[in-house]
Amino acid sequence: MIIRSHINQILADVGSAIPPDGKRDYFRLHRNRFAMILAALPTDAGNRVLEIGVNPGLFTQALVRAGYRVSGTDLFPEHRASLWRDLGVDVRRWNIDTEPPPYPPASFDLIIFSEVIEHLVNPPLDALAAMRELLVPGGYLLVSTPNQFYLKSRLRVLADILLLRPFEHDDEFRRWVSLKAEARYYTHSRLYSMGQLCWMLHHAGFIVRRRIYGNPWERVGLEWQRLLRHPHRWLVKALLWSATRAIPPARSMLLVVAQRPAG
């Protein structure tokens, strides 16, 4: 496990190096997620890491700064080809739903599959089994995804019921129905519970080692300077953070550490 002070320094370095058009807002929204994943990395894993879904490359930079030998896959690796060259990271195209893995079996000690599984169009069992084959025996897979039972989402569903609104609002529906080809992967196909996620990992041949309910999204917007600018929003966010802190299964993110059996 990387110590917290080291994680904070890694992310501070990544944040300070972001150019003006380099996704500063994205980094602010995802910084807590990045910190939670770095903290969950197994200490007994090797340093050959595959990151699935590398764009926009901010977490890739954090992994490189943490000392890992990083490779990656993405639907559109060409979007930041110059960044991959600068980092020395080999990024290859992989549509997990339709294409075989672009790397040989047993190429990696660790695979990070963060905030991607919810975008897959096909059921994920085959994709997870393919990732198992990419790992060395005893290698680890870290999966993170939004929690189906996130309190904020459940409150929204309750409001939809009370107000007789569709669960998928009209603007979301129109956007979804207009998507074509690989643009479909820019929206969520479905969300999972912790039990469902662990069940899939088990049936794909993994041993689940850790189950973590994370709260990265609850903490976004709780910066003290926002209390003076947006006091009502800050207080609502603080109430949400407090509630999910007390009820871990209602937090916003699921994070599972799974291992390919060593035998």
Residue 1: pLDDT over 70? no
Q: Which two tokens stand for residue 158?
A: 């309750």
**pLDDT tens across 228-240, in order?**
888 888 999 999 9
b/e code 17-26 from CB counts within 10 Å (16+ = b): ebeeeeeeee
Domains of the chain by range and CATH? 4-147+188-259 (3.40.50.150)
Condensed to tens digits (0 to 9), the pLDDT of residues 163-180 reads: 888 887 888 888 888 888
Count Cα neighbours of 37 within 13 Å in the Cβ-side half-sphere.
27
Task: Tell me which DSSP letter residue 223 carries.
Answer: -
Q: Decide if pLDDT at 181 tops 90.
A: no
Enumerate residues 6+ apart whose C-beta is below 8 A from 118.
Answer: 145, 146, 188, 189, 190, 191, 192
The residues, any chain, with a CB within 8 Å of residue 121's CB and separated by 6 or more, are: 97, 184, 185, 189
pTM of the model: 0.93
Instruction: Say what the pLDDT of residue 207 is.
Output: 98
